[in-house]
Amino acid sequence: MLRSVFVVVGLAVGASAVLAQANSISERRDTMKAVGAATRDGAAMAKGEAPFDAAKAQAVFKTYGDAAKKMPGFYPESAKTGGETTAAPKIWEDQAGFKAAFAKFEADAAKGATATDLAGFKTAFGDATKNCGACHEVYRIKK
Amino acid sequence: MRRLLITLLVFIALGIAGFFVLTDPRVVSPGPEIGTLPAPDIENGKLLFAAGGCASCHATPGQDDKTRLGGGLELGSPFGKFHVPNISPHTRDGIGNWGTADFIQAMAAGVSPAGQHLYPSFPYTSYRLMTPKALADLLAYIRTLPAVEGKAPPHELPFPFNIRRMVGGWKLLFFDGAPFKPDPTKSDEWNRGAYLVNGPGHCAECHSSRNQFGAIVQATRFAGGPDPEGKGWVPNITQAENGLGKWSKSEIAELLKSGFTPNFDSVGGSMAAVVRNMALLPEADRLAMAEYLKSLPAVQGPSRPQAK
């Protein structure tokens, strides 16, 4: 009886670890996809391909801010590899730097929240999106 | 019996002598004819410095000033560890004592002023496409940058890769020292792009797979492969379906400027530094590179390992 309890518990722990890994990887992927979609909207306005819309601009920075808050939590030790992840080992070697990079992204996104016209939006959008390449350079492997 | 032994020794001696003659830097990779050069164009040198990504490898790591070329970056490879040298104009530790001919010799033929082979981890295999005039411009720009003290440690290469003469044999097999020749049947834009991509941009050095001797496999040039620096996978940039086949010319130029793919993903790893450099070029140059890349036939490279 006791043994089967152990087996069940053991299986449950194993299964949830696998699940947690898969969840973390898909959650960080979905979050980054949302950031990409927001960047598409933002870039269209910044380049003048779409008219400037203050509400849309705010939505872009809100997506960035929300992602910056959530992202560092999606990298547990159990989700270093798996799926088609392009997470670099450096994330776990330098957690402080990794978190600081997201803190900077969050701060830059917050600055955008005060932009009310196209010129202000362009500046804030440019600053915020510089974080993409800067962070990927260090914490992402090529794919 | 004795005669056989002598014959054998003679052959061995001839073999060794042949190796020494053939792998002599001046024999296997003579530098280009320089002729008389006009006064250097420092602005052009600055552009080539960006296009060549010189700072990506040679800037002193751990500080933000990309014009401090003190070297010291560690570059991994299947053959051992390379330590990138100081190319700042410092007269003792950098290349401050190099003449224009020395610099052209190193960039176009892979030979140091001391007459030794340079390892092809330094992509002179691509840089050789730049003309002596362009290289003189580049050196003139580097001379305007700060002199940085300090030498990088020597490369850590196991035997036999630590013998520079071996590079002579490698050059014999794989090195073509010719400068860029425009294709008159193609547009000026295409030729400019071909020059930037294959020459200073040295895109193929990462975006191709290599054989067991570390030379680019020409049949799958630009078709991607495992990251030579270690982890990850370098994408196919030919017109293959899984390459840039579906990308428009302006989308390729946009990636080179901002780092964003058509899906607004942002490129990572060492490509981020490449983008920072390419962003410094005029838009016309990025479009020219895109024009050339759009002309590359679809080629499949090595297949990516399956995801676990």
Query: How do residues B212-229 score in pLDDT, each as one tens digit?
Result: 999 999 999 999 998 877
| Cβ–Cβ below 8 Å for B259 and A143 | no
Contacts of A83 in chain B (CB under 8 A): 307-308
Burial category of B242 from C-beta neighbours within 10 Å (exposed 0-12, middle 13-18, buried 19 and up): middle
CA triplet B44, B46, B52: central angle to 5 degrees? 100
Q: Which of A83-87, B59-63, B154-158 has the lowest mean pLDDT?
A: A83-87
Chain B nearest C-alpha distance from A117 (Å): 22
How confident is the model over B238-248, as a mean pLDDT? 96
Contacts of B275 in chain A (CB under 8 A): 133
Query: Is a pLDDT exceeding 60 seen at residue A95?
Result: yes
Q: Are residues B50 and B148 in the same domain?
A: yes
CATH number of the A2-139 domain: 1.20.120.10
Q: Which of B233, B264, B277 to mutate to test the interface with A (most CBs of A within 10 A)?
A: B264
Q: Which of A28, A81, A142, A143 to mutate to test the interface with B (most CBs of B within 10 A)?
A: A142
**From the list A81, A137, A142, which residue is nearest B232 (CB)?**
A142
Q: By the CB < 8 Å criterion, does B306 face chain A?
A: no
Where do the structural domains in chain A lie, given as residue ranges?
Answer: 2-139
Specify the number of domains making up chain B: 2
The single residue listed with the structure tokens 């295409």 is B190
Query: What integer pLDDT is reported at residue A143 of this predicted model?
Result: 64
Q: What's the CA dihedral at A61, B268, A69, A127 to 10 degrees?
A: -40
Chain A nearest C-alpha distance from B270 (Å): 6
| Cβ–Cβ below 8 Å for A132 and B260 | yes
Angle subtended by helix axes B2-22 and B165-174, to nearest 10: 80
Q: Which of B205, B266, B283 to mutate to test the interface with A (most CBs of A within 10 A)?
A: B266
pTM for this entry: 0.89
**From the list B234, B260, B263, which residue is nearest A142 (CB)?**
B234
Contacts of B266 in chain A (CB under 8 A): 36, 129, 132-133, 136
| Cβ–Cβ below 8 Å for B273 and A137 | yes
User: What's the whole-number average pLDDT of chain B?
Assistant: 94
Task: Please indicate, yes or no, if residue B7 is contained in any of the structural domains.
Answer: no
Task: Please indicate, yes or no, if residue B304 is contained in any of the structural domains.
Answer: no
Both structure tokens of B268:
């990572």
Q: Are residues B194 and B163 in the same domain?
A: no
Q: Are residues B121 and B236 in the same domain?
A: no
| Cβ–Cβ below 8 Å for B231 and A133 | no
Coil, helix or strand at residue B157: coil
Query: Is a pLDDT exceeding 70 seen at residue A16?
Result: no
pLDDT tier, B307 (very low <50, low <70, confident <90, very high otherwise):
very low
Look up the domain containing B275 and give its range: 188-293
**From the list B264, B272, B308, which residue is nearest A133 (CB)?**
B272
Q: Among candidates B151, B111, B106, B147, which has minimal Cα distance to B130?
A: B106
Among B121, B145, B174, residue at a domain's last position: B174
pLDDT tier, A13 (very low <50, low <70, confident <90, very high otherwise):
low
Query: Is a pLDDT exceeding 50 seen at residue A73?
Result: yes
Task: Please indicate, yes or no, if residue B276 is contained in any of the structural domains.
Answer: yes
Chain A nearest C-alpha distance from B232 (Å): 5
| Cβ–Cβ below 8 Å for A84 and B307 | yes
**From the list B232, B266, B271, which residue is nearest A132 (CB)?**
B266
Task: Please indicate, yes or no, if residue B60 is contained in any of the structural domains.
Answer: yes
| Cβ–Cβ below 8 Å for A139 and B272 | no
Q: How far apart are CA B292 and CA A46, in angstroms?
A: 28
pLDDT tier, A115 (very low <50, low <70, confident <90, very high otherwise):
confident
The interface residues of chain B toward chain A in range 129-148, judged by CB-CB distance below 8 A, are none
Both structure tokens of A25:
């990887």
Q: Are residues B166 and B214 in the same domain?
A: no
Q: By the CB < 8 Å criterion, does B259 face chain A?
A: yes
Q: Are residues B49 and B155 in the same domain?
A: yes
Task: Please indicate, yes or no, if residue B10 is contained in any of the structural domains.
Answer: no
Contacts of residue B30, defined as CB under 8 A and 6 or more positions apart, other chains included, come to B109, B177
Strand-pairing partners, residue B210, are B216
| 3 state SS for B124-136 | HHHHCCCCHHHHH
pLDDT tier, B308 (very low <50, low <70, confident <90, very high otherwise):
very low
Q: Are residues B281 and B255 in the same domain?
A: yes
Q: Are residues B192 and B277 in the same domain?
A: yes
Q: How far apart are CA B22 and CA B174, in angstroms?
A: 14
| Cβ–Cβ below 8 Å for B232 and A141 | yes
Q: Flag whether the ipTM exceeds 0.85.
A: no
Query: Is a pLDDT exceeding 50 seen at residue B105?
Result: yes
Among B174, B198, B215, residue at a domain's last position: B174
Contacts of B260 in chain A (CB under 8 A): 39, 43, 129, 132
Alpha-carbon separation of residue A50 from A37, A40, A47, A56, B280 (angstroms): 15, 11, 8, 11, 26
Distance between start and end Cα atoms, chain A: 49
Greater pLDDT, B269 or A102: A102
**From the list B234, B266, B307, which residue is nearest A133 (CB)?**
B266
Task: Please indicate, yes or no, if residue B167 is contained in any of the structural domains.
Answer: yes
Q: By the CB < 8 Å criterion, does B150 face chain A?
A: no
Among B143, B174, B205, residue at a domain's last position: B174
Contacts of A37 in chain B (CB under 8 A): 264
| Cβ–Cβ below 8 Å for B232 and A39 | no
Contacts of B209 in chain A (CB under 8 A): none
Q: Are residues B201 and B140 in the same domain?
A: no
Task: Please indicate, yes or no, if residue B8 is contained in any of the structural domains.
Answer: no
